[in-house]
């Protein structure tokens, strides 16, 4: 009798009201129909020549390179930020979180203006950087900074959520057994939240790949230097609609591929789970105190 009760409790509740499906279908169609309409508009006989033109390949290559660079910069800056926000306790923590997440709701053009008045020639740091021989505005570095500015919150939100869900019990055990903070971070914390970290990195890459407003404002549109694929699509929209649609499809395909690979590898975009087979005891026995 008790085993039967346990079995009944272990079954997940899946009762969804029928009207929920109707609303869900409407939401799905809102996303799918525009993509179907774009597919119907593609000039398929000329698709390959359109996406392999010199300007298109230059824009695609620049987008992939800068998005990869901005994702690495998001990881370098975002992991410490998420750790501080999730595990730290200090005055002004909520204010710091609000500023870090501000690009999520800030219009990208406003972000571009803010970056321009920070790193531009007449900006807060631009004059000093120019004396040092560094000119950031309207350069490829400006593209990377603009993409990082808008994409960083995605990594911080994803990783902070994973850190809070995972809790700190495993780290506490490892520390009690003699592991230093760096060893705990490297051998326990990061493997524990690896799915959330990958999720944040994927979202950051996808957001960087589609960035437009901040890039145009801060970096301009110089072919081969700052003209990413979204900027090329915008320019082609007036001159050659077929080219704009073809390049849009390429951008969608790349984004879907990135998200799909992550989903297939981890089963979901986000969440936590201890992917490391090590225990706190093995961490201490194999790592010295740091």
Q: CA end-to-end span of the chain, whole Å?
A: 53
The pLDDT, as a whole number, for residue 243 is: 92
pLDDT score at 264: 65
**CB neighbour list of residue 228: distance below 8 Å, 6 or more residues apart:** 59, 62, 63, 66, 143, 211, 212, 215
* pLDDT score at 110: 95
Residues 41-65 as b or e (16 or more Cβ within 10 Å = b): eeeeeebeebeebeebebbbebbbe
The full DSSP string for 236-250 is: HHHH-HHHHHHHHHH
- pLDDT given for residue 275 in this prediction: 46
pLDDT means over runs of 10, the chain (290 residues): 51 76 95 93 92 92 95 96 90 92 93 94 86 89 96 94 85 80 85 90 92 94 93 90 92 85 59 50 52
The pLDDT of residue 276 is 47
| pLDDT for residue 279 | 57
Q: What is the DSSP string of 188-210?
A: IIHHHTHHHHHHHHHHHHHHHHT
E-assigned strand segments in the chain: none
Every domain of the chain and the residues it spans: 47-286
| Nearest C-alpha neighbor of 150 from the set 87, 64, 221, 213 | 213
Report the pLDDT value the prediction gives residue 169, as an integer from 0 to 100: 83
Q: How many angstroms separate the CA atoms of 222 and 206, rounded?
A: 22
Distance CA 50, CA 249 (A): 11
User: Superfamily assignment of 47-286 in CATH?
Assistant: MetI-like (1.10.3720.10)
Q: Tell which residue, 270, 284, 262, has the closest CA to residue 178.
A: 284
What number of H helices and E strands is found in the chain? 16, 0
What CA–CA distance (Å, rounded) separates 219 from 112?
8
Q: Which two tokens stand for residue 3?
A: 């085993």
User: What's the length of the chain?
Assistant: 290
Q: What pLDDT does 15 receive?
A: 76
How far is Cα 98 from Cα 116, in angstroms, rounded to an integer? Answer: 22
């Amino acid at each position: 009798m008790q085993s039967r009760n346990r079995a009944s409790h272990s079954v997940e509740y899946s009762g969804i009201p029928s009207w929920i499906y109707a609303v869900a279908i409407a939401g799905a169609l809102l996303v799918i129909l525009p993509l179907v309409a774009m597919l119907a508009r593609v000039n398929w006989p000329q698709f390959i020549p359109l996406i392999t033109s010199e300007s298109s390949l230059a824009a695609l290559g620049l987008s992939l390179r800068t998005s990869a660079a901005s994702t690495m910069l998001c990881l370098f800056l975002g992991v410490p930020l998420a750790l501080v926000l999730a595990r730290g306790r200090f005055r002004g923590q909520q204010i710091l979180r609000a500023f870090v997440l501000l690009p999520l709701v800030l219009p990208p053009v406003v972000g571009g203006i803010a970056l321009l008045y920070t790193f531009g020639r007449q900006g807060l740091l631009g004059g000093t950087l120019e004396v040092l021989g560094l000119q950031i505005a309207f350069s490829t570095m400006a593209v990377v900074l603009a993409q990082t500015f808008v994409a960083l919150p995605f990594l911080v939100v994803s990783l902070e959520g994973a850190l809070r869900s995972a809790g700190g019990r495993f780290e506490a055990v490892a520390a009690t057994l003699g592991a230093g903070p760096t060893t705990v971070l490297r051998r326990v914390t990061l493997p524990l939240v690896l799915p959330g970290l990958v999720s944040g990195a994927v979202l950051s890459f996808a957001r960087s790949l589609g960035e437009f407003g901040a890039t145009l404002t801060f970096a301009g549109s110089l072919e081969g230097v700052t003209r990413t694929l979204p900027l090329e699509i915008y320019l082609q929209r007036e001159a050659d609609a077929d080219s704009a649609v073809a390049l849009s499809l390429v951008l969608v395909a790349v984004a879907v591929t990135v998200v799909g690979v992550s989903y297939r590898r981890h089963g979901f975009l986000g969440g936590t789970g201890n992917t490391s087979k090590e225990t706190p005891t093995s961490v201490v026995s194999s790592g010295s105190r740091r």
